[in-house]
């Protein structure tokens, strides 16, 4: 199946060609025909599956000529995601005359007001700033025909659901809606029933499986050796670009500082940084000015940072879904990548929860020639995991590590 079979507009097909997309991804294959037919769609797919194009290509095709009225609205949980989706939509629609504005907080109103004054067909926004504009009377939603709620579960986590509801209420009832969410908790189910019309649900792959192109392993380590192990890993592994995930902003700053002291080119991304710093970090990382990006979950979820060769979970994520989101940074759209998780004794229950969630045991490995201090985790395999995932260890290609315990490859 090629893009040309979907009935997309010639201008959008040209845009797809210019992007270098040859074949639709699985979510695009399922979502594009439904959206072209006018159906409401719920998409639950892993990050990096091509979901932006899955909703944007059919909607942009249906928009036709510009009218200066906001007809297509996309809500995103973070400024970074809003900016990223705006770039993608701008690229897809480059052979049309459609006009786009991106609205998010943390920056002045000047440019956003200028764009809105000129009239825009498409708005990509975070809920808070969008409501500000509506309150000021600088944006009306009474012409919205297409509404996309992206990363709905993250908007829920961030407490945006009441804002989202207020926004949806201002859109005409006669519209087409799509909602994307990695998980569908009950509050999102309620939102779906309230905001969508007879939606079709598309699940791509197992909702819980991590990106299949990623090889992931766990490095058990004593608490006091975490930073040494991180430094050694970065020293020994051949990476092009790596994201190091930390649990807190404070820890992210500490680790960034440590890596800088060890001659790594490092940027930091977390929600206490100014918009300018965040943009600089992302742009520099994309361009290769920084080889390491140290980030917290909230700042980085869903970001499309291409060609990340490695993800290191300096801290084990506390929510199993975050594990999938984090390692989804690598192995995006067919590329392969490696994901390393440092695990200390106190992380055991979180690791087992992740393994149950993804339905797979993550291999434990040790770094060769690293002088390990003893940790009870080294006995983990012998003791058996209470409540752990009972399945077999899946084979993995390991660089710079080796299996230990009963699962060691002989
Ligand atoms: P997304 O899941 O929308 O963040 O997309 C992930 C990455 O895949 C982005 O870099 C897209 O440009 C890329 N992508 C999306 N669809 C395709 C496709 N059909 N062929 C190649 N790359 C794609």
Residue 254 has pLDDT above 50, yes or no: yes
Average pLDDT over every residue of 110-127? 96
CATH number of this structure's domain 3-204: 3.40.50.300
Identify the band that residue 137 occupies on the pLDDT scale cut at 50, 70 and 90.
very high
pLDDT digits (tens, 9 = 90+) for 25-42: 888 999 999 999 999 999
Check if 27 has its Cβ closer than 6 Å to any atom of ligand 1: no
Instruction: Say yes or no to pLDDT of 396 above 60.
Output: no
What is the C-alpha to C-alpha distance for residues 204 and 305, in angstroms, rounded to an integer? 21
306 C-beta closer than 6 A to ligand 1: yes
Question: What is this structure's pTM?
Answer: 0.62
Q: Hey, which of 20, 32, 52 would you mutate to test ligand 1's pocket, going by the most ligand atoms within 8 Å of its Cβ? A: 52
Nearest residue (by CA) to ligand 1, atom 15, is: 50
Main-chain phi, psi angles of 35, to 5 degrees: -70, -35
Asked whether residue 394 carries a pLDDT value surpassing 50, the answer given is no
Q: Is 310 in the pocket of ligand 1 (CB under 6 A)?
A: no
Lowest mean pLDDT among 70-84, 231-245, 253-267, 374-388: 374-388
Site to probe by mutation for ligand 1, drawn from 20, 44, 49, 50 as the one with most ligand atoms within 8 Å of Cβ, is 50
Structure confidence at residue 402 (pLDDT): 41
Mutate to test the pocket of ligand 1, among 333, 334, 335 (most ligand atoms within 8 A of CB): 333
Instruction: Give the separation between CA 272 and CA 249, rounded to whole angstroms.
Output: 7
What's the distance, CA 99 to chain centroid? 25
Residue range(s) occupied by CATH 3.40.50.300 in the chain: 3-204, 214-405
For residue 390, the model assigns a pLDDT of: 36
Q: Are 295 and 246 in contact (CB under 8 A)?
A: yes
Q: How many Å separate Cα 9 from the centre of its chain? A: 28
Which of the pair, 236 or 115, is modelled with greater confidence?
115
**Under a CB-based contact definition with an 8 Å cutoff, are residues 74 and 123 in contact?**
yes
Question: Which two three-digit tokens encode residue 288?
Answer: 């290769």
Looking at residue 125, its pLDDT comes to 98
- When pLDDT is averaged across residues 160-184 and rounded to a whole number, the result is 94
- In this prediction, residue 172 has a pLDDT band, given cuts at 50, 70 and 90, of very high
CA-24 nearest atom, ligand 1: 19
Which protein residue has the closest C-alpha to ligand 1 atom 21? Answer: 21
pLDDT at 397: 38
**How confident is the model at residue 387, as a pLDDT?**
41
Which ligand 1 atom is nearest residue 25's CA? 19
Beta strands in 181-326 (DSSP E): 200-203, 214-220, 242-245, 266-269, 292-295, 310-313
Return mean pLDDT, the chain. Answer: 85
pLDDT band at 299, cuts 50/70/90?
low
The predicted pLDDT at position 409 comes to 27
Beta bridge partners of 295: 245, 269
CA dist., res. 28 & res. 32, Å (int): 5
Name the band, by pLDDT with cuts 50, 70 and 90, for residue 385: very low
pLDDT at 154 over 90: no
Asked if residue 329 has its Cβ within 6 Å of ligand 1, the reply is no
**Cβ(280)–Cβ(293) below 8 Å:** no
For residue 374, which of 208, 234, 224 has the smallest C-alpha distance?
224
54-58, 79-83, 111-115, 297-301 — which is least confidently predicted?
A: 297-301
Coil, strand, or helix at residue 370? coil
Q: Which CATH architecture has domain 214-405?
A: 3-Layer(aba) Sandwich (3.40)
Task: Give the model confidence (pLDDT) of 174-233 as tens digits.
Answer: 999 999 988 788 899 999 999 999 999 998 754 445 555 568 889 999 999 999 999 999
Q: Is 120 helix (H, G, I), strand (E, B) or coil?
A: coil
Q: Percent of the chain having pLDDT more than 70?
A: 85
- Asked if residues 188 and 181 have their Cβ atoms less than 8 Å apart, the reply is yes
Which one is predicted more confidently, 73 or 337? Answer: 73
Longest Cα pair distance anywhere in the chain, in angstroms?
Answer: 69
Chain centroid, CA 396 distance in Å: 24
């Amino acid at each position: 199946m090629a893009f040309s079979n979907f009935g997309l507009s010639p201008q959008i097909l040209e845009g797809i060609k210019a992007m270098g997309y040859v074949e639709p991804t699985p979510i695009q294959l399922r979502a594009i025909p439904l959206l072209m037919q006018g159906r409401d769609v719920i998409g639950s797919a892993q990050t990096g599956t091509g979901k932006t194009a899955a909703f944007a290509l059919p909607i942009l095709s249906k928009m036709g000529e510009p009218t200066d009225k906001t007809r297509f609205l996309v809500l995103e949980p973070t400024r970074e995601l809003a900016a990223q989706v705006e770039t993608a939509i701008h690229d897809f629609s480059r052979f049309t005359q459609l006009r786009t504005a991106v609205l998010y907080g943390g920056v002045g109103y000047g440019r956003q007001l200028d764009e809105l004054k000129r009239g825009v067909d498409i708005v990509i926004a975070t809920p808070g700033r969008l409501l500000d504009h509506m309150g000021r009377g600088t944006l009306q939603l009474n012409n919205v025909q297409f509404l996309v709620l992206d990363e709905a579960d993250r908007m829920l986590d961030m407490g945006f659901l009441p804002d989202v509801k207020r926004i949806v209420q201002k859109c005409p009832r006669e519209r087409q809606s799509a909602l994307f969410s990695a998980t569908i908790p009950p509050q999102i189910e309620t939102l779906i029933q309230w905001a969508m019309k007879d939606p079709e649900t598309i699940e791509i792959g197992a909702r819980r499986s991590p990106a299949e192109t990623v090889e992931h392993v766990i490095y058990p380590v004593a608490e006091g050796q975490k930073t040494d192990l991180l430094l050694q890993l970065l020293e020994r592994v051949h990476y092009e670009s790596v994201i190091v995930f930390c649990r807190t902003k404070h820890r992210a700053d500490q680790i960034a500082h440590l890596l800088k002291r060890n001659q790594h080119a490092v940027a930091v991304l977390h929600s206490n940084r100014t918009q300018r710093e965040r943009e600089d970090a992302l742009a520099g990382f994309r361009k290769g000015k920084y080889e390491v990006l140290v980030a917290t979950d909230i700042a980085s979820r869903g970001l499309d940072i291409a060609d990340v060769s490695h993800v290191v979970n300096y801290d084990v994520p506390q929510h199993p879904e975050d594990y999938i989101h984090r390692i989804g940074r690598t192995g995006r759209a067919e590329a392969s990548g490696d994901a390393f998780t440092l695990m200390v004794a106190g992380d055991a229950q979180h690791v087992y929860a992740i393994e149950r969630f993804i339905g797979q045991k993550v291999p434990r490995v040790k770094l060769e020639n690293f002088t390990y201090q003893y940790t009870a985790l080294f006995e983990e395999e012998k003791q058996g995991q209470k409540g752990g995932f009972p399945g077999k260890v899946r084979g993995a290609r390991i660089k710079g590590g080796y299996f230990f315990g009963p699962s060691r490859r002989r």
